[in-house]
Amino acid sequence: MSHDDSLTRLMRHVLKLHRHSVDLMIQKYDVFPGQPPLLMRLSERDGQSQKELADSMLIKPPTLTVMINRMEKTGLVERKPDPDDQRVSRVYLTGKGRQAAAGVREALQVLEAKCFEHFSPEEKMLFRRLLWQVRDDLETFQRHFKDE
């Protein structure tokens, strides 16, 4: 099999197309690439600490800080000190951020429907199971390297 035919290359290409499509659909909300996961996490549970957000997004705290700073400038989020521990900063969606999160959620639903419009319910179920298996295999693989 040539490099052009590899499953990994195809998967990477599909993921890039998906992310680019999301980015195109949400740019009207002042949401930039990489920011949708933060919006979704805050829409599910507003007021998380920066550490909680970085851990759940699997990114380093300095990366999250840059993202939050940018989102504060566009009016999507705001930071407030934790009432019980002033050393902890909590991140909250603004009204504009809640609207953007709703727009992102809708864009993701539209895109998911488009991506799988030619799949039968059984094919979607099989594809989900196969992706879970790839995820589990990669997590096991990474744990192996962390344990060494």
Give the start-to-end residue ranges of the domains of the chain.
3-115, 118-148
Query: What pLDDT shows up at residue 147?
Result: 73
Query: What pLDDT shows up at residue 2?
Result: 64
Topology of the domain covering 3-115: Arc Repressor Mutant, subunit A (1.10.10)
Query: What pLDDT shows up at residue 114?
Result: 96
Starting at the earlier edge strand, list the strands of the sheet with 48-49: 48-49, 89-93, 77-81
Query: What pLDDT shows up at residue 3?
Result: 64
* Cα–Cα distance for residue pair 87/62, rounded to 1 Å: 16
Per-residue pLDDT tens for 81-129?
Answer: 989 988 889 999 999 999 999 999 999 999 999 999 999 999 999 999 9
Query: What pLDDT shows up at residue 80?
Result: 95
Q: Is the pLDDT of residue 1 over 70?
A: no
Segment 126-134 mean pLDDT: 96
The model scores a pTM over 0.85 = no
Per-residue pLDDT tens for 47-75?
Answer: 999 999 999 998 999 999 999 999 999 99
DSSP per-residue string spanning 40-80: HHHHHSSSEEHHHHHHHHT--HHHHHHHHHHHHHTTSEEEE
Query: What pLDDT shows up at residue 144?
Result: 85
